[in-house]
Amino acid sequence: MNYKTITYERLGETLYEYDHPSGLKAFLVRKPGYNKKTALFATDYGSIDNVFKKSDGQVMRVPDGIAHFLEHKLFEQEDGNMLDKFSRMGSSPNAFTSFNQTAYYFTCTDLFEENFRMLLDYVQNPWLTDENVEKEKGIIGQEIRMYEDSPDWRLFFNLLDCLYVNHPVKVDIAGTLDSIAQINKELLYECYNAFYTPSNMVVVVSGDVDPELVFTTVDSMIKSKDRGKPEKRYPEEPEEVNLTYKEQKLRVSMPLFNMGIKDPVRVSGYELLKRRTALGIILAAIMGRSSELFNRLYYDGLINDSFRFEVSADQSYGFVNWGGQSSDPERVAGEIRREIEATVEKGLDQEVFDRIRKSHEGVFVRTLNSPDVIAREMMDCYFNKTSYFELSRIFEELDLAYTNQILRSLFTKTTVLSVIHPI
């Protein structure tokens, strides 16, 4: 077969790429000697993609929650539920909808080809009826109510409501009870036909699998005709935040807090991956487990092991956030803001930068032992116009000057705070 082989000698990894005639891209990361195999079939379509222009020129505006609704419905086929079918084949299937992607995948040790064929088949063949769509509204409605009572979920989306004025990233991935009530079979098919088209999708396999097997299976199973990529449209988002503070009371034993900064810089490809990496180093330097700030707050009893930080950056939105449990969220927020100001003023230290960069590179290399992680990261990077293996070059090239530039341009912006207090 006519596929491309790329060797990353520094990592000891080999990537196989295949361009299907339909426009679908397929990847294999071969892991000789590994028993576990993962296959993923994904579309560049998530919860934020509710306004789009179809290839025929028609502009669609659909209710919140449709991408997640479709994810649920694809598992239900006329001859049974796909979860049961995969389980009978000894594999573990799942799916997820994020803000910008929907992915269907399985892991297995045996019967890879049979499971792989099932994955490629059912994702291309939605079975939607008026009856099963109405039934699903009840199921998803229960899920929405569950998330409304989830302190961690509400904390996070309250943070996004603080950060964003117009961008749909602030809307719950599952939608609302009102929005899912507007969903019907016809709208689901419209969105499926717009986004589940080969040139808007990717197949990723990771494990000890022969490339000929993977790509000949793709060749034989991909029957969908490409309808062209839809044009995603998002509202104008100001640099200013929507709110600086939001609180809610729920059943928690200790207050929860989440802080964040909106990143207005929009990049893609290698630059996006590089920016994500620099932001992760900055957060680790300011508030990571080895930082003076973390240890001071921890030993003062103001934070505990629940404290985490995260970088979220895509082509249409970006933010950094951090938080956890605290007996005094407002005091912790003040301490963190002061530490950020002091770090911006003096910049990151070269020794600290080098240590964290090497540590993060080590974490990246360890992820290459996980077929699951490889498949997900390869998918995300492909949709963001880069490759996961480019991280190796980024860790080599990333320097203190660039990282301090990111620090001073972003961490001088408004920091918002979301808090959940006990009832």
Active-site annotation, residues: 71
The end-to-end CA distance of the chain, in Å, is 63
Task: Round to whole Å and give the CA distance between 260 and 317.
Answer: 13
What amino acid is encoded at 6 in this protein?
A: I
Q: Round to whole Å and give the CA distance between 281 and 277.
A: 6
d(CA 351, CA 349): 6
Burial class of 209 by CB neighbour count within 10 A (0 to 12, 13 to 18, 19+): buried
Specify whether the backbone of 323 is left (phi greater than 0), alpha (psi in -120 to 50) or beta.
Answer: left
Residue 399 phi, psi dihedral angles, 5° rounding: -125, 170
Report which of 12, 10, 59, 8 is spatially closest to residue 369, judged by C-alpha positions. 12
Distances (CA, A) of 14 to 5, 100, 145, 159, 251: 7, 27, 45, 40, 49
Max Cα distance, the chain (Å) = 64
* Under 8 Å between Cβ of 317 and 282: no
**Could you tell me which of 124, 29, 107 has the C-alpha nearest to residue 382?**
29
* Nearest partner of 252 among 154, 142, 141, 144, judged by Cα: 154
List of E strands, 233-354: 245-250, 256-262, 308-313, 318-325
Structure tokens at 30: 């071969």
Which amino acid is residue 369, in one-letter code?
Answer: N
What's the rounded Cα separation, in Å, for the pair 352 and 332?
Answer: 23
Q: CB atoms < 10 A from the CB of 169, how many?
A: 23
Give me 301's structure tokens. 């009893």
